[in-house]
Structure 1
Amino acid sequence: MESLSRPTLFDFHGVCMTNYFTDNWENVQNFRARPDDIVLASYPKAGNTWVSYILDLLYFGQTSPERQGSVPLHERVPFLEIQMSGYPSGVDVLNELTSFPRIIKTHLPVQFLPKSFWEQNSKIIYVARNAKDSAVSYFHFDRMNKRFMEGKMVFGSWYEHVRGWWEKKQTCSNILYLFYEDLIEDTEQELVRICSFLGLSPTTELKKQVTEKVQFDNMKNNKMVNGSADEVFDLKISPFMRKGRVGDWNNHFTVQQDEQFNEDYKKKMKNTDLQFRTVL
């Protein structure tokens, strides 16, 4: 099995990418969205799996409880742009999905999202996580920090990714922009925001069930959610779900690294009102 940890990075229309996410480019760009599709976008390691699980439970937790114990989350929420030899592409899996709505995972920067999602006015939820914890989480996933600051990561620069989606949100009412830190601090409150955005009115009981099931430790121990059912990951190197905390960067950054990072961050984020919390 090919490992996802060291694919070759190359410049693709100004963004660092790997062939896993560009090999099926034409089909991805021509993807036919539906008005009831829900797109879940984020930079890698920012809580995409977490919110995928929340959405899956909201829509299918009560109507198809058997899915929860038998179908891995990455099959319930297909990854739009992925294409790996020996596996069906994300586009193919999505085209064959019979459940409604389709919940669709993507890590694409805003300018790469297939245009049919905008034409169909599909609902889009973007999850953003602060740069320091993203760098550390990515470091364990892909073992790096300098590359993060230089934007030499798959799906490109964190700074451009979070800013691009933030700017798009200012003019598009079909985008809900969530912060990982808010989800950690008050899962219930963010759940209410998600439901309000999607026009859902779950029962108190369902909200309670969802909040309970999506607690990090419960997800980490759930084989259908924690990535262990996905052959692509080598979990011996680093678990797919590691800590799920805010401020873990404090345990990894030296004082010097933190100073360098802060200086670099200020430069790259000076022209935006987008703000993150790095501690709670």
Structure 2
Amino acid sequence: MDLKSFDPEKANVERPEMFDFHGVTMVHYFTDNWENVQKFQARPDDILIATYPKAGTTWVSQILDLLYFGETNPERQTTIPIYERVPFMDLLIPGVFSGKDLADNLPTTPRLIKTHFPVQFVPKSFWEQNCKIIYVARNGKDNMVSYYHFDTMNKVQPEAGTWSSYFQRFLQGKLAFGSWYDHVNGWWKKKQTYPNLHYMFYEDLIENTGREIDKLCSFLGLSPSAELKEKVLSGVQFDNMKKNQMANYSTLPVMDFKISPFMRKGKVSDWKNHFTVAQNEAFDEDYKTKIDPTLLFRDEI
């Protein structure tokens, strides 16, 4: 499997249609390998990074890769793209890419694996093996804006359409991986009964990356040296990652960077540049009825 030399035009990769899959809006690229993914055999030391799309997955993936391998195997960061170091378990592009196969064959200990699945779709072996799981949640307004721009440039996602239609579909949960509300609420509820789940907020990472890395290390039982911590902090600064070809997805031909970069702004409150007053009011009303009241997001920092 070589995504870097993959030509989506020749392979006839087309924008997918959305459909209901076990009560969640999905597309076939994330369900075609369903049976195999559900049979995935997790190991006790596997670490699963879970998010709704565009909520900080790559950021936390890079943090973990540096924490675990930044000293012992530093060449990884300059020679292997992030989507191979931390494979996307859900994704199957037939004949080209199987995230499940990549995860099976990871040579590292621990294996770092990512998913956008809602909590009920996670293969049961992760729970049976009591794996550590890191969930990152992002304010819904910024998450919507980031996902919109992502969908404009990613050929394995449905067409984004107009901003106003996208706004409505987000509120209705009619985007790939379903409702943002169901996603963040479902994982939050799981945290109450599964102690090996560390629930993070994108806004906290923006506010104080070092503090959040310290919390991560405490959760993972890591005691990095001062030098490694400095290396991690430098390596995961947004501008550094945006320029890093092994982290910014620019080697992935299914994404059209002429439309939008994969890493666009990495800001909090960018939604203010997109939402109308009426949309902001509509979102706030919707939010009141759908969000778990114990789950506290911030609009700004």
TM-score, normalised with respect to structure 2: 0.90
Structure 2: segments with no counterpart, 5+ residues = 1-7, 152-159, 161-165
- Structure 1 residue aligned with 2:85: 76
- Deviation by residue 1:166-210 (Cα, 9 ceiling, x = unmatched): 000001101000000000000000000000100000001111110
- Structure 1 residue aligned with 2:264: 242
Q: 1:17 aligns with which of 26, 31, 48?
A: 26
- Structure 2 residue aligned with 1:88: 97
Equivalent runs, 1:186-197 vs 2, <5 Å: 186-197=208-219
Q: Given the alignment of the two structures, is residue 176 of structure 1 paired with residue 198 of structure 2, yes or no?
A: yes
Moved more, 83-92 or 8-17: 83-92
Q: 2:47 aligns with which of 35, 38, 41?
A: 38
- Structure 2 residue aligned with 1:253: 275
Give the SS at the match of 1:134.
helix
Q: 1:205 aligns with which of 227, 235, 256?
A: 227
Equivalent runs, 1:120-131 vs 2, <5 Å: 120-131=129-140
Q: Given the alignment of the two structures, is residue 48 of structure 1 paired with residue 57 of structure 2, yes or no?
A: yes
Give the 4+ runs in structure 1 shifted more than 3 A.
Answer: 2-6
CA distance in 1, matches of 2:256, 2:68: 30
- Structure 1 residue aligned with 2:245: 223
CA distance in 2, matches of 1:41, 1:140: 20
CA distance in 2, matches of 1:254, 1:181: 22
CA distance in 1, matches of 2:147, 2:15: 13
Structure 1: segments with no counterpart, 5+ residues = none
Give the SS at the match of 2:134.
strand
Instruction: Name the aligned partner's letter for residue 107 of structure 1.
Output: H
Instruction: Name the aligned partner's letter for residue 237 of structure 2.
Output: Q
CA distance in 2, matches of 1:95, 1:214: 26
- Deviation by residue 1:211-263 (Cα, 9 ceiling, x = unmatched): 11101000000010001012221111211000000100011111111011111
Instruction: Name the aligned partner's letter for residue 246 of structure 1.
Output: V
- Structure 2 residue aligned with 1:273: 294
- Deviation by residue 1:55-82 (Cα, 9 ceiling, x = unmatched): 0000111111111111001000001111
> What count of residue pairs does the alignment treat as equivalent?
279
Moved more, 226-235 or 46-55: 226-235
Cα root mean square deviation, aligned: 1.2
Asked if the contact 1:4–1:233 (Cα under 8 Å) also holds between the matched residues in 2, the reply is no
Equivalent runs, 1:100-179 vs 2, <5 Å: 100-142=109-151, 143=160, 144-179=166-201
Structure 1 residue 95 displacement after superposition:
1.2
- Structure 1 residue aligned with 2:36: 27
Instruction: Name the aligned partner's letter for residue 133 of structure 2.
Output: I
For residues 58 and 243 of structure 1, do their structure 2 counterparts lie closer, same or farther at Cα, with a shift above 3 Å needed?
Answer: same
TM-score, normalised with respect to structure 1: 0.97
Q: What is the aligned-residue identity percentage? A: 63
Give the SS at the match of 1:65.
coil
For residues 224 and 104 of structure 1, do their structure 2 counterparts lie closer, same or farther at Cα, with a shift above 3 Å needed?
Answer: same
